[in-house]
């Protein structure tokens, strides 16, 4: 069942959303794996060992998210009807927490994620909330988060806890 949040930029970019279902676990695992492939490239394991490791990691992450963020929205991101990513978001009284956002590699770097993030930021701003996300330090999307006005709030080792509290400057409005 498709859902239609009031996210204009995402809609204009051809994005739609639906809630995850158990049948989506293979897709969600593929999306997860796509975010870790580069990181595991230098590891001297066989492809089968890497696949087993990533499957174990995905299952652990998925179980953790489901347990600790039970009230979150668990969404599949679709582009022109094709499943291309995942968005997990929890709306709390003081903030919106992006638990996870990831697109398959062939859909990265073409503005889809930025359109979605800008809509999420607008939604949070309209509700008077900040937005937080944990981002791996080596994640190429770090540049996008910084450009949108996210600031590092806490160094968590491999991750930075980043927070957005409002548009960073007129440059945000000019590119919105």
pLDDT per residue as tens digits for the range 101-150: 999 999 999 999 999 999 999 999 999 999 999 999 988 899 999 999 99
Ordered by where they begin, the domains of the chain are 2-175 (3.40.630.30)
> Which of 129, 127, 132, 126 has the alpha carbon at shortest distance from 145?
132
> Which of 73, 90, 160 has the alpha carbon at shortest distance from 129?
90
Q: Residue 172: what pLDDT?
A: 45
User: Is residue 166 over pLDDT 90?
Assistant: no
Per-residue pLDDT band at 67 (split at 50, 70, 90): very high
Question: In the chain, how many H helices and how many E strands?
Answer: 6, 8
Q: At what angle do helices 25-40 and 47-68 cross, to 10 degrees?
A: 120
Q: Residue 6: what pLDDT?
A: 83
pLDDT per residue as tens digits for the range 71-105: 999 999 999 999 999 999 999 999 999 999 999 99
User: Is residue 169 over pLDDT 80?
Assistant: no
**Angstrom distances, CA of residue 103 to CA of 30, 32, 55, 91, 100:** 10, 9, 18, 21, 10
Q: Residue 3: what pLDDT?
A: 67
Dihedral (Cα; 153, 154, 156, 160), 10-degree rounding: 20
């Amino acid at each position: 069942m498709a859902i239609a949040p009031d996210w204009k930029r995402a809609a204009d970019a051809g994005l739609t959303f639906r809630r995850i279902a158990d049948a989506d676990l293979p897709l969600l695992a593929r999306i997860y794996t796509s975010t870790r492939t580069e990181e595991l490239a230098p590891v001297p394991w066989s492809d089968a060992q890497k696949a087993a490791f990533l499957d174990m990691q995905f299952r652990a992450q998925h179980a953790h998210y489901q347990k600790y963020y039970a009230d979150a929205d668990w969404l599949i991101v679709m582009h022109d009807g094709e499943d291309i990513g995942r968005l997990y978001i929890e709306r709390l009284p003081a903030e919106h927490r992006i638990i996870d956002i990831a697109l398959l590699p062939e859909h990265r770097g073409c503005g889809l994620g930025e359109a979605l993030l800008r809509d999420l930021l607008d939604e949070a701003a309209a509700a008077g909330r900040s937005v937080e996300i944990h981002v791996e330090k080596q994640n190429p999307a770090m540049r996008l988060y910084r450009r949108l006005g996210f600031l590092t709030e806490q160094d968590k080792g491999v991750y930075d806890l980043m927070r957005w509290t409002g548009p960073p400057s007129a440059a945000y409005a000019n590119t919105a």
